[in-house]
Structure 1
C-alpha cells in the first residue's frame, strides 16, 4: 500500500508546521550523515528517523544533495555572519584575529555535526552548489588573510611571515580541531580558543605590540 503523507506526517501541537518538519529532516540527516556518511545514508533512513514521509522530504528538498548543501551552507553562513560582527566591533587587527580564532573554534562546538559533514562530505557537492559553498569558504579565508595583512602593514605582526602562508596555517589549525574536539571533553571551546589565540599571536606579534 502506498504511504500517504497524512498517514505518517508528524503531528505538531499547533498542527502541521513546515519549518519544524524541515528542521526535523535536517536534524535527522545531520545525525545520520555524521554516523554513516553521505553515501551510506538513504532518504528512507532520514525520513524514518524523523518519523516523516518521503513526500514530506521532497516537499522541502529536491534531492539528498540539496539537503547536504543546506547543511554545509547553514554552517558557513553562520561563520560569515560572525565575521561581519567581528569586523564591525573593532579595527584593531590583534582583537580581530583573536575573535576570528574564537569564532572558528566555538563554531566547531556549536555546529559540530555540520562541521564534520562539511569537511568529510563536501566532495559530494557539484556544480553551482559546490561553487557557492567554495566561494563562501574563500570569503572566510580572505577575512583571515585581510586581518593578517592589515596587522603586518600597521606594524603589529611580523613582516617576515608571508600572510598567505600564515592564513593557511591558521585556518588549517583551527579547522582540524573538529577531529579531536569533544563537546563533553575536558576543555570548553572558549578555553581552547584562548590557548590557540595565545599561541598564534605570540608567534606573529612583533615584540613591541605584545
Structure 2
C-alpha cells in the first residue's frame, strides 16, 4: 500500500494542515494542467501556493507522490459513486445512464483532475502506477458488469460486446474534458442525455417486436 504522508512534524499554533495541503494540490492542478507534469518544478508549485518546500514535504514525498494523490483523489470519488449506482435497485439500463452522467459530471466538476489523469498518469511508476491502474480497472469493470447484466436481462441486444461498449462509453466521456465548457449554454446533463441516446438507442431491445 502506498503511503500518503511523510513523517509528521510539529508546527506553530494556528497552522492549518488541511488548508496547506489544499493550497499545494490546487497549485499543482493548475500548473500540471497548464504546463504539464514534466515542465512543472516543485519550486514552481510551492511558489504558486506561497508556501515553502518544508510545507510541501510535510504532506508529500515527492512531485510524483503529489501527482498520484491528485489522481487517487479523483478515482476514489468516482469509484465510491459508481459503486452506489451499481448497488442500487435501478434497472441495469438506468444504471448505465447514471454511470454515463457520473463520468461526465466528473469532467464538469473536476476538469483539471480528468485532464491530468488522461495526460500525465504515464509519469507514475511502481506502486503508485499499480494503484491508479487497479482503481481505473475497477471503474471499467463496473461499467462492463452493468452492461453485461443489461444484456443478460434482455434489455440490450445480445450480439454486442459489453467490453467494446464499455471502451466506447469511457472514451467518449473521458475525452469530453477537451471540449466541454462548464460556462457554456449546454449543461452536463444535456450532454449526458445525448450521449446516452447515441449509445443506447441502437442497443436497447424493442419489447414491442
The two structures have a TM-score, normalised by structure 2, of 0.91
Q: Retained in 1: the 8 A contact 2:86–2:146?
A: no
Residue 191 of structure 1 deviates from its aligned partner by 1.2
Residue 91 of structure 1 deviates from its aligned partner by 4.1
Q: Which residue of 2 aligns with 1:68?
A: 67
Q: Which residue of 2 aligns with 1:178?
A: 177
- Structure 1 distance, partners of 2:20, 2:202, is 48
* RMSD of aligned Cα (Å): 1.7
- Number of residue pairs aligned between Structure 1 and Structure 2: 199
Tell me, what secondary structure is at the counterpart of 1:207? coil
Superposition pairs of residues 106-121 of structure 1, within 5 angstroms: 106-121=105-120
Residue 25 of structure 1 deviates from its aligned partner by 0.2
Is 1:17 paired with 2:20? no
Give ranges in structure 2 of 5+ residues lacking alignment.
1-10
Q: Which residue of 2 aligns with 1:146?
A: 145
Residue 36 of structure 1 deviates from its aligned partner by 0.4
Q: Which residue of 2 aligns with 1:199?
A: 198
Give ranges in structure 1 of 5+ residues lacking alignment.
1-8
Tell me, what secondary structure is at the counterpart of 1:208? coil
- Structure 1 distance, partners of 2:34, 2:187, is 23
Q: Retained in 1: the 8 A contact 2:92–2:150?
A: yes
- Structure 2 distance, partners of 1:15, 1:194, is 47
Q: Which residue of 1 aligns with 2:189?
A: 190
- Structure 2 distance, partners of 1:118, 1:141, is 15
Superposition pairs of residues 1-210 of structure 1, within 5 angstroms: 15-208=14-207
1:106-156: per-residue Cα shift (whole Å, max 9, x none)? 000111000000000000001010001001000011011001110111100
1:26-57: per-residue Cα shift (whole Å, max 9, x none)? 00000000000001111111111111001000
- Structure 1 distance, partners of 2:109, 2:47, is 26
- Structure 1 distance, partners of 2:187, 2:90, is 27
Tell me, what secondary structure is at the counterpart of 1:90? coil
1:75-125: per-residue Cα shift (whole Å, max 9, x none)? 111100111111232241011000000000000011100000000000000
Q: Retained in 1: the 8 A contact 2:83–2:142?
A: no
In the TM superposition, structure 1's runs of 4+ consecutive aligned residues that sit over 4 Å from their partners are none
Residue 23 of structure 1 deviates from its aligned partner by 0.4
- Structure 2 distance, partners of 1:65, 1:130, is 10
